[in-house]
Structure 1
């Protein structure tokens, strides 16, 4: 078990608070804005997982299909859970495209690139936000922040690999150096804002402004002019504006931080579409990244991956906030998670009809509730309740599989959907285990 535990155990149960918050969000929330290939899920065998398996031996038997897999590093585990979702998005998009005869291709080289960039750039925003939140909560010199920073850098390397696969090794190294530099400026900004150092804040903003011009020139060069420097710079200026707004909110402890982070992530999805279009043209890749099928895949990628990161942020907030699940920060995190659920249901409804969208929303919220029950049980050391929640999640897999098979006219086989959801439960459950291990007081 980790020796770096800190803070307090939540003062109220997760299940009661999230159930209340999601209920309020369902009744009164405004409509949310609609929001490479990821690396394969890593195999995980750790002392923490073995220990949990032993502890559950006295509880109801948990099917192996949903046994959580964690490493003890909550940031790496959250990324592993998130990286599984683009695969699910590709499967769902292909099924819907076939069932509804949606124009375009979900599996073209162009569609692969757009979905991959969407996932990586969105992940950059969420991992940056999580890193800042961790620094503010645990300290910039803490092992927790070092782990968060390492996971953010793994995303940077993956982005550089994607660029290098099209532009060559030399351009990969140039991109990685430039990208890491801009992350350093965001770190400088976060430190300055938290410390109330206006001069350092302004200096960081000036550095970020200079970066947008450099990055614009870089992409114009590697795309052979298909991506004009001014257009790229303008998009990156919005990236700076939206992410610094989220950092401001995190520094102030504002409940608006979660919505601000979601807005910053939504913006880079738009940027991914633009960059993909330019790189596809420059590299002569097969397919159109802007056709309807490729767009559907990218949108599902963003929505499903965001679900994982927002769920992780909600649990992180419950485990670290003053007041735990009764805090305004936690209520805001849960409401932002539910906004993502509504957006996903609207995407399903636009394809399968409003009635099916509502059915999906009910089913999706139910599975979030089971994850809530699991997080609550892990935090309180209730092995029996944890096992019961995992068993419910195992049952959910079958229900969701049957749902998607029906609305896709058989193009999405129930067993294939259920198999994908097994990995979702295993990886997100593992991330929850690691969050509890790192952040909940023993």
Structure 2
């Protein structure tokens, strides 16, 4: 299977897509190159960026691919905070990204972004493996873990009793999305409309809840509008998955992209109502929240791409679309780095970032084929990347971010995502 998967990857052009920047190309991230790339690339920052040596990476997984993916994503807010701290110091960005208000906005950004991706993953799993499959039950369990975290975050602000009420309502809206997904797959127009009606009623109730909880600093109409946008955008993605449309991956990303805005609105109202220290909307808080969203998205889109390769095939239109969406995230992250430094750094960063994704692809290929030597080689390349990238970021921030600290964050990312890939391979191949 390993050689078949690798051959399909190369034929699809995905390896070329992931490392196109190594040739200095500025491609449309939605369009894969037509010429296959070589099986191995070494696009990465030069080791001369750092004097530190790479250490062996140890994948960290439990065998539950969905819980492991969430654990990998859960590392990203810490990485985002570390990077934001260094870039803010180096660029003289004003604000307090470690304030309580900044923490609230970043935390809500992570949880709400994660909610959308876990919901999308659960739907895709139901469609690929069946709604009564062990895989779907695990996906639904992980989605509920996010729900509990969202409920706990709300309870910490409004108290346990109201928090429990919110969690019950939140879970009900997820059940309505499940009903929508079932109806979409069976082309049950009446069932879809009933689910939408329930979801819109939930949006109205959520508006009233936050209006009451914040004493009006979060107006019901504004909150309701945020939830209605969430519902319509996620429903569009569900429709796409139900109809096997390649656009479903971009639609899911668009639905997730709305969540940082919702988090900003909620954080602003809650911070004002509770007289929370700090400003959730200052420049430093915004930087932290934006990096949190982008890096959380990176982990989930990488996991979705691997999931799609294992379930639909690496030569499928679905996989090509999933990798194009993943690359759009890579471009967005590189532009964020470029906005804090310069064009040259942006291009170097993108080249290196794409190369580390290519190493994850190689790891996924090897994991599917039970090729321990191939996995070890991919981990060695990822380890070298963590060191070189640490040096690059440290140099870019003029030492505000020590190379060792950046490397440590990236090691955690590589080990947790590799563990999730191992679990995906065991469950799906």
Normalising by the residue count of structure 1, what TM-score does the alignment of the two structures yield? Answer: 0.88
User: How far apart are residue 15 of structure 1 and its match?
Assistant: 5.2
User: What corresponds to 1:266 in structure 2?
Assistant: 257
Partner of 1:361: 350
Q: Does the CA contact (< 8 Å) of 1:243 and 1:264 recur in 2?
A: yes
Given the alignment of the two structures, is residue 254 of structure 1 paired with residue 245 of structure 2, yes or no?
A: yes
1:29 maps to what in 2? 28
Matched, 1:70 2:61: yes
Q: Distance in 1 between matches of 2:92 and 2:269?
A: 27
| 1:424 alignment partner in structure 2 | 413
C-alpha separation between the residues in 1 aligned to 2:124 and 2:358?
Answer: 24
SS at match of 1:127: helix
Deviation track 1:73-117 (CA, whole Å, cap 9, x = no partner) reads: 000000000000110000000101111110101101010000000
Which stretches in structure 2 are left out of the alignment for 5+ residues? 32-53
Deviation at 1:23, TM superposition (A): 5.4
Match of residue 386, structure 2, among 397, 404, 407 = 397
1:397 alignment partner, SS class: helix
Could you say which residue in structure 2 is the equivalent of 1:439? Answer: 428
- Given that 1:21 and 1:331 are in contact with CA atoms closer than 8 Å, whether structure 2 keeps it comes out as no
Give the Å deviation of 1:293.
0.3
Instruction: Give the C-alpha shift of residue 353 in structure 1.
Output: 0.9
Counterpart among 119, 125, 128 of residue 116 in structure 2? 125
What is the SS of the residue equivalent to 2:322? Answer: helix
Structure 2: distance between partners of 1:22 and 1:396: 15
Choose from 107, 113, 118 the match for 2:104: 113
What is the aligned counterpart of 1:411 among 390, 397, 400? Answer: 400
Q: Is the aligned partner of 1:336 residue 2:296?
A: no
Deviations 1:230-282 (A, max 9, x none): 00001111001100000000000010011000000000111100000000011
TM alignment of 1:51-200, pairs within 5 A: 65-200=56-191
RMSD, matched Cα? 1.7
Gaps spanning 5+ residues in structure 1: where?
A: 1-7, 33-62
**What CA distance in whole angstroms lies between the structure 1 residues aligned with 2:197 and 2:390?**
50
**C-alpha deviation, 1:359, in angstroms:** 0.8
Q: How far is 1:22 from its partner?
A: 3.0
How far has the Cα of 1:30 moved from its partner?
6.0
What residue is the counterpart of 2:16 in the other structure? 20
Counterparts of 1:74 and 1:130 in 2: how far apart (Å)?
11
CA–CA separation in structure 1 for the residues paired with 2:272 and 2:325: 36
Cα distance between partner residues in 1 of 2:132 and 2:3: 24
In 2: Cα distance, 1:360 partner to 1:154 partner: 34
**SS of equivalent residue, structure 1 residue 95:** helix
| 1:302 CA displacement | 0.5
> How far apart, in 2, do the equivalents of 1:78 and 1:296 lie?
24
How far off is 1:31 after superposition? 9.0
TM-score by length of 2: 0.91
TM-superposition CA deviations, 1:278-299 (whole Å, max 9, x none): 0001111110001000000000
Query: Residues 27 and 326 of structure 1: is their aligned pair in 2 closer, same or farther, counting only changes over 3 Å?
Result: farther
Alignment correspondent of 1:292: 283
- Match of 1:410, SS state, is coil
For the 8 Å contact 2:19–2:355, the answer to whether it is kept is: no
Write out per-residue CA displacement over residues 341-385 of structure 1, whole angstroms, 9 at most, x where no aligned residue. Answer: 000000000000111111110110111111111111111121111
**C-alpha distance in structure 2 between counterparts of 1:15 and 1:300, whole Å:** 29
SS of match in other structure, 2:245: coil
Distance 1:66 1:244 in 2: 39
CA offsets per residue over residues 310-351 of structure 1, 9 Å max, x none?
000000000000xx1111100000000000000000000000
Quick check: 2:72–2:417 contact (8 Å CA) kept in 1? yes
Structure 1 residues 399 and 9: alpha-carbon distance in aligned structure 2, compared to 1, 3 A threshold: closer
Counterpart among 360, 368, 374 of residue 371 in structure 1: 360
Q: How many aligned positions are there?
A: 401
Q: How far, CA to CA, are the matches of 2:79 and 2:227 in structure 1?
A: 29
Matching residue of 2:236: 245
Displaced runs of 4 or more, over 6 A: none
| Residues 1:28 and 1:64: Cα distance change in structure 2 (over 3 Å) | closer
CA shift, 1:21, in A, is 3.4
Task: Name the counterpart of 1:44.
Answer: none
Residue correspondence of structure 1 range 307-318 to structure 2 within 5 A = 307-318=298-309
In the alignment, which residue of structure 1 is the partner of 2:39? none
Task: Deviation per CA, 1:160-181: give whole Å up to 9, x if none.
Answer: 1111111111111011001001
